[in-house]
Amino acid sequence: MTRPEVLFPLFAGLETLPGIGAKSARALGPLGVDRPKDLLFLLPHAVIDRSRRATIAGLALPAVATVEVEVGAHRAPARRSGPTRVNVRDAGAEFQLVYFHARGDLLQRLLPPGARRLVSGKVELFDGVAQMVHPDHVLRPDEAADLPAHEAVYPLSQGLTQRMVTRAAAAALARAPDLPEWIDPALKAREGWPDWLAALQAAHAPADAADLAPTAPARARLAYDELFAHQLTLALARRDRRRARGRETAGDGHLRARVLASLPYAPTGAQTRALAEIAADLARPQRMNRLLQGDVGAGKTLVALMALLIAVEAGGQGVMMAPTEVLARQHHEGLEPLAAAAGVRLALLTGRDKGAERAAKLADLAAGRIDILVGTHAVFQRDVVFADLRLAIVDEQHRFGVAQRMELGAKGQAVDVLVMTATPIPRSLALASYGDMEVSVLDEKPAGRQPVKTVLVSAERRAEVIAHLAQALDQGAQAYWVCPLVEDSETLDLTSAETRHAELRALFGDRVGLVHGQMAAADKDAAMARFVAGQTRLLVATTVIEVGVNVPAATIMVIEGAEIFGLAQLHQLRGRVGRGVGASTCLMLYQPPLSDTAKRRLTLLRDTEDGFRIAEEDLAMRGAGDLIGTAQSGLPRFRVADLDRQAGLMAVAQTDARALIETDPSLTGPRGRAARALLWLLDQDRAIRLLSVG
């Protein structure tokens, strides 16, 4: 797909812009500016009022002022490092212009005594004297029109000045063509959004703080363009995947019936619904690409196994992948009794399998003697070959990139993919990260799951907590004690897992175990195994137990330093208890006094166990990048759109993009062609490639 000719000037080198040489072009790189078009989306983050006034008299200082002055005498510095002072007078007051390290001859040329000049900058009082240190602008009266009444302030990186970026952005803007409209006309009218070019011009010329807000019509429109282009890419990927031949995988239900008969309870409505959606996808000739989102303890394991059994019933194999060895082992242990009830062969493959044992597993897998494989990303290795892989389930998706998702899909012939996440994701972020996927949500707790009583306790009452714990342990209870650190820190006033373990072991002896992320994998697994078997009753741990650890007998969770954990993390940790029949308690120990934010976080957790409500609050409090950890989130980086504040626009963009692809799959109609220009402008190369092959 070729780039529209009208966009060529925006894709030229940066050096073609006035005032930009090789050095300043390099300096623009860290700002994400490689071509003139990138300057269109480098929007001002502040605005300075440069409107003219007659005098600084009566101004509440410090303040920015723009006045015409008559230049008086220059006073050279008293000592070499001192400043040069230039006396000036406006229509009602005298003040000084102050310059450090200035060359006298240059200052004389810039500010000749007796001449009139327009000066603009910050005026402050120093020892009772009004001063403007290093004015931002000094102009002759005939150049006054060059200074806008409101000056946009752009982000800078080392080696750039405001003047350079302002000039370059204006030059890029002058190259922007008036493009045909790609937004649905009814939507544009309803929102009151300007045309694309008008929106760019307005966004680069803010008159006040309101023009910088995400809700300003020009900014909202440009943000929508970005979200729409992103969703268009995902919609094209979804269309492409739907076109890709899948295999129809339908089972007769005999293995699933055996598992259901072995369960002491019936699946929840949400589990039944999710399974029906997955089964329908598997039976279609297109490849499945579905996200299964479930809150802590919503019963994803059962749904996953039932989906894998459909593949086995159809004569194929299934694989389930977890991000860590601990989780892979847990999945294997959780699935084993169910697989046994169904009478299918389940195997575990991790990086720890070596030599003859590994070779035997691989031979069984290739021969089809293993029905379901559970493993870490070791299942990606080239020598892992399946007889007939039908379904791949990936657990904790945000730790696997989209590229790995595709690599896994290439393992079998048109493999169906189901992604599971135990982290409830706010809808806007789910659309940003998984907009190409269909979504099933488990929003009910299985029967028998106990609500967890959550109590906030000041750290000053720790002795009471330990006394209660002693009583509970004597009565046969099992408990977790989570610390934020592995070792004591000089900078943080927090007790580490190692110190707390030593203290509790002195009280309770061998009943206390320890597990943290810096232990060798074998030691970690052994410590977990002792706790699962009930040999240790109290497990002191760091957040390594946050995801997936399943010990139904554990009914008490103590979280020390609760105020420093994030909402999602606290919710996940609390989810480690309440998994069995006993009533469970989560004690959040905090160091008083609590900040307002920490108080809001902990109170919310005390009041609700709804992971989706907690996730929405978390997004509102922390922002998208922090919520999933920007580095590993796989979240797109938006230049204008703000996912925290413009979450609602993402859903509109998805609906709009999918509707456009339904009616104009190859984007050849008038609106489709306009949308192609947008994809070029916003570097949606993946979409452009999909259109080229499509």
The domain boundary residue, chosen from 608, 634, 664: 608
Assess whether 491 and 596 both reside in one domain: yes
> Could you tell me if residue 219 is inside a domain?
no
**Dihedral sign from CA coordinates of 183, 186, 192, 194:** positive
Assess whether 415 and 457 both reside in one domain: no
Assess whether 398 and 436 both reside in one domain: yes
The 10 Å CB-count burial string (b at 16+, else e) for 581-615 is ebebbbbbbbbeebeeebeebbebbeeebebbebb
Which residues does 544 contact at the CB level (< 8 Å), separation at least 6? 326, 515, 516, 517, 524
CA distance 601 to 71: 58
> Could you tell me if residue 171 is inside a domain?
no
CA distance 269 to 440: 12
Q: 568: how many CB neighbours lie within 10 A of its CB? A: 21
Q: Three-class SS string for 133-182?
A: ECCCEEECHHHHHHCCCEEEECCCCCCCCHHHHHHHHHHHHHHCCCCCCC
- Model confidence, pTM: 0.65
CA distance 561 to 494: 7
Q: What is the pLDDT of residue 573?
A: 87
Assess whether 417 and 498 both reside in one domain: no
Assess whether 462 and 434 both reside in one domain: no
310: its two tokens: 């459909």
Whether the CB-CB separation of 511 and 479 falls below 8 Å is answered with no
Sheet holding 372-375, edge to edge: 346-349, 372-375, 317-321, 389-395, 416-421, 289-294, 438-442
Of 292, 306, 301, 11, the residue nearest 175 (C-alpha): 11
Q: What is the pLDDT of residue 458?
A: 93
Assess whether 376 and 433 both reside in one domain: yes
Q: What is the pLDDT of residue 246?
A: 76
> Could you tell me if residue 211 is inside a domain?
no
CA distance 175 to 40: 10
CATH of the domain at 142: 2.40.50.140
Q: Among all chains, which residue has been given the structure tokens 């002792």?
A: 530
Q: What is the pLDDT of residue 634?
A: 45
> Could you tell me if residue 638 is inside a domain?
no
Report the number of distinct structural domains present in the chain.
3
Pairing relationship of beta strands 372-375 and 346-349 according to DSSP bridges: parallel
Q: What is the pLDDT of residue 629?
A: 37
Of 611, 526, 637, 663, the residue nearest 229 (C-alpha): 637
Range of the domain at 99: 51-147
> Could you tell me if residue 169 is inside a domain?
no
Of 636, 610, 534, the residue nearest 229 (C-alpha): 636
CATH of the domain at 472: 3.40.50.300
Pairing relationship of beta strands 94-99 and 129-133 according to DSSP bridges: parallel
Whether the CB-CB separation of 308 and 456 falls below 8 Å is answered with no
Whether the CB-CB separation of 74 and 104 falls below 8 Å is answered with yes
Assess whether 490 and 574 both reside in one domain: yes
Q: Among all chains, which residue has been given the structure tokens 């413009």?
A: 646
> Could you tell me if residue 136 is inside a domain?
yes
Of 427, 461, 470, 456, the residue nearest 646 (C-alpha): 427
Assess whether 413 and 456 both reside in one domain: no
Assess whether 584 and 462 both reside in one domain: yes
The domain boundary residue, chosen from 573, 608, 643: 608
Assess whether 361 and 461 both reside in one domain: no
Length of the chain: 694
Q: Among all chains, which residue has been given the structure tokens 């490849």?
A: 287
Per run of 10 residues, the mean pLDDT along the chain (length 694 residues) is 89 93 93 94 94 94 96 90 93 95 90 97 94 96 90 92 92 96 94 96 93 94 94 81 78 94 89 95 88 79 94 95 82 90 95 89 95 87 88 71 54 75 67 72 74 91 94 93 74 74 93 87 84 92 69 89 84 83 89 87 86 71 44 60 78 90 92 94 77 56
667: its two tokens: 């984007």
CA distance 574 to 317: 35
> Could you tell me if residue 42 is inside a domain?
no
The domain boundary residue, chosen from 417, 442, 467: 442
Q: What is the pLDDT of residue 692?
A: 63
Assess whether 283 and 406 both reside in one domain: yes
Q: What is the pLDDT of residue 343?
A: 95
Instruction: Show the beta-strand stretches assigned E in 332-477.
Output: 346-349, 372-375, 389-395, 416-421, 438-442, 452-458
Assess whether 592 and 460 both reside in one domain: yes
Longest dimension (CA), the chain: 100
> Could you tell me if residue 105 is inside a domain?
yes
